[in-house]
Amino acid sequence: MDYFQRTLQLPLNQNIILFGARSTGKSTLLKRTFSKNQCFWIDLLNFENEIKYLKNPSALISEVQALDSSVSHIVIDEIQKVPKLLDAIHYLIENIDKKFVITGSSARKLKSANVNLLAGRAFVFNLYPMTHLELADKFDLTDILNWGSFPALYTRCVSNDDRRMFLTSYAQTYLKEEIWYEQFVRRTDPFLRFLEIAAQTNGEIINYANLSQDTSVDDKTIKNYFSILEDTLIGFFLEPFEKSVRKRVAMKPKFYFIDLGIVKALNRTLSIPYVDFSSAYGKAFEHFIIVEIMRFSSYRKNDFRFFYLRTGFGAEVDLVVERPGQKKLFIEIKSSINVRDDQLSNLIKLADDHDAEAVCFSRDKIARKVENAIIYPWKDGISRYFL
């Protein structure tokens, strides 16, 4: 992966917690950022390391205290395997002149263990699959919509068969290692059914009653399943936009998986490519633009908040962005290569009603204005508002 330049830049002079789903490239990023000769590296995916520190977390203290002064950073990979190590890390941060770099793929395990999360003592970052800027000349929109953008797809996979096997294995490994192994669910069969249905309804308003009926588990369990996906960094909620916070809480969110390849793997449609101009292609393009915006916003730490808007009459804005000190941004996402003016009538009216800036991200080649809205080629739109 040496030819990729990741957007996320980690500070060398701070303690860091780096979260990210499996295979997003956390370890690779750290190896590129921190000199091997200056690091004491502990991989908790190594079973012997996991058992050693589970039995005696304080062993880390004596090991670090014995390190040569030339070692400036202690890197601990997959901290959720031994959450109690955070107490030892806290002690060491307060008592030695070295920096800690910690990675994790499950915030849920840390929360459930009620451990010391180093509040105020470490900067927290999230790492995601590759963006179009990171892929540079390797980027191909059709490939991304069909396969997603996990780094391994570009470093280890030389054919579509390789890609298919990687993503299928990823979905199965995720279920086994992140869910069953960590004992987040007691029974895997209902959760597996849930994963398939959640993928089929990716980007749609969650109907808990229907999901409950389809999976034969209650609403409370369905909500817990979604929170597992969020806490293990496999997906995120997009909440409804409503001026009244009370009304907003009462409305249902949408849920998006962090990568398009996961959705196709869970849907078992990896062998069926999207057809340009089809509704499925348009839905995948919308998913891509939303996750791309979320990734850049996270890396830039710009404090934006994201929502969707749907009126009681069914008019919808794909993405509402609350920006501190600026007007709200209403974004319509169209996979068309020539968006018609009449396709933006709802966007223009809703933006006017909410005193918001209205834009459309599409595959148009040149930006143009339609009344109070501007249609941007999607790369230009992302660059203007999120980079």
Tens of pLDDT, residue by residue over 280-326, are: 999 999 999 999 999 999 999 999 999 999 988 889 999 999 999 99
Domain boundary among 126, 157, 189: 126
Tell me, yes or no, whether 97 and 144 share the same domain. Answer: no
Task: List, edge to edge, every strand of the sheet that includes 73-77.
Answer: 39-43, 73-77, 99-104, 16-19, 123-126
Q: Residue 82 sits in a domain of what CATH number?
A: 3.40.50.300
Residue 305 domain-assigned (yes or no): yes
Sign for the pseudo-dihedral over CA of 53, 55, 61, 64: negative
Least confident span in 46-55, 117-126, 238-247: 238-247
Residue 219 domain-assigned (yes or no): yes
Residue 27 domain-assigned (yes or no): yes
- Residue 19's identity, in one-letter code, is F
Look at residue 247 in the predicted model and tell me its pLDDT. Answer: 54
Domain span at 241 = 132-270
Burial 351-369 (b: 16+ CB within 10 A, else e): beebebbbbbbbbbeeeee
Residue 44 domain-assigned (yes or no): yes
| Residue 1 pLDDT > 50 | no
Q: Report residue 212 as tokens.
A: 């409950």
pLDDT, one tens digit per residue, over 124-181 is 899 999 999 999 999 999 999 999 999 999 999 989 999 999 999 998 877 766 777 6
Which residues of the chain form beta strands (DSSP E)? 16-19, 39-43, 73-77, 99-104, 123-126, 235-240, 254-257, 305-310, 316-322, 329-333, 357-362, 368-370, 373-377
Average pLDDT, the chain: 91
The average pLDDT across 177-203 equals 82
CA distance 133 to 131: 5
Considering the entire predicted model, what is its pTM?
A: 0.92
The average pLDDT across 23-30 equals 93
How many Cα neighbours within 13 Å face the side chain of 95? 10
pLDDT, one tens digit per residue, over 94-112 is 999 999 999 998 777 676 6
Which of 76, 75, 2, 10 has its CA nearest to residue 36?
Answer: 75
Domain boundary among 270, 305, 340: 270
Q: Report residue 82 as tokens.
A: 């031994």
Least confident span in 27-31, 143-147, 239-243: 239-243
CA distance 328 to 354: 8
Could you give the 3-state DSSP secondary structure of residue 277?
coil
Give me the number of domains the chain comprises: 3
Look at residue 314 in the predicted model and tell me its pLDDT. Answer: 85
Q: Report residue 89 as tokens.
A: 């890390």
Tell me, yes or no, whether 379 and 358 share the same domain. Answer: yes
Domain boundary among 244, 270, 296: 270
pLDDT tier for residue 187 given thresholds of 50, 70 and 90: confident
Tell me, yes or no, whether 219 and 155 share the same domain. Answer: yes
Tell me, yes or no, whether 301 and 377 share the same domain. Answer: yes
- C-alpha distances in angstroms, 233 versus 13, 229, 251, 332, 358? 26, 6, 23, 26, 30
What percentage of the chain has pLDDT greater than the value 70?
A: 93
DSSP 23-35: TSSHHHHHHHHS-
Tell me, yes or no, whether 298 and 225 share the same domain. Answer: no
Look at residue 379 in the predicted model and tell me its pLDDT. Answer: 98
Strands 99-104 and 357-362: unpaired
The average pLDDT across 68-89 equals 93
What percentage of the chain has pLDDT greater than the value 90?
A: 76
Tell me, yes or no, whether 238 and 146 share the same domain. Answer: yes
Q: Residue 206 sits in a domain of what CATH number?
A: 1.10.10
Which of 180, 153, 187, 136 has its CA nearest to residue 262?
Answer: 153
Tell me, yes or no, whether 136 and 236 share the same domain. Answer: yes
Q: CB count, 10 Å around CB of 230? A: 16
Burial 154-167 (b: 16+ CB within 10 A, else e): beebeeeeebbebb
Tell me, yes or no, whether 143 and 263 share the same domain. Answer: yes
- Residue 321's identity, in one-letter code, is V
Which of 32, 26, 100 has its CA nearest to residue 61?
Answer: 100
Residue 365 domain-assigned (yes or no): yes
Tell me, yes or no, whether 100 and 181 share the same domain. Answer: no
H helix count then E strand count, the chain? 17, 13
pLDDT tier for residue 246 given thresholds of 50, 70 and 90: low
List % helix, strand, coil for the chain (3-state, nearest 5): 45, 15, 35
Look at residue 220 in the predicted model and tell me its pLDDT. Answer: 92
Q: Burial, 216: exposed, middle or buried (Cβ in 10 Å; 0-12, 13-18, 19+)?
A: exposed
Look at residue 211 in the predicted model and tell me its pLDDT. Answer: 92
Residue 64 domain-assigned (yes or no): yes
Place of tokens 């009126």: 311
Least confident span in 121-125, 133-137, 179-183, 220-224: 179-183
pLDDT tier for residue 116 given thresholds of 50, 70 and 90: low
Q: Cα-Cα-Cα-Cα dihedral of 134, 135, 140, 143, to 10°?
A: -100
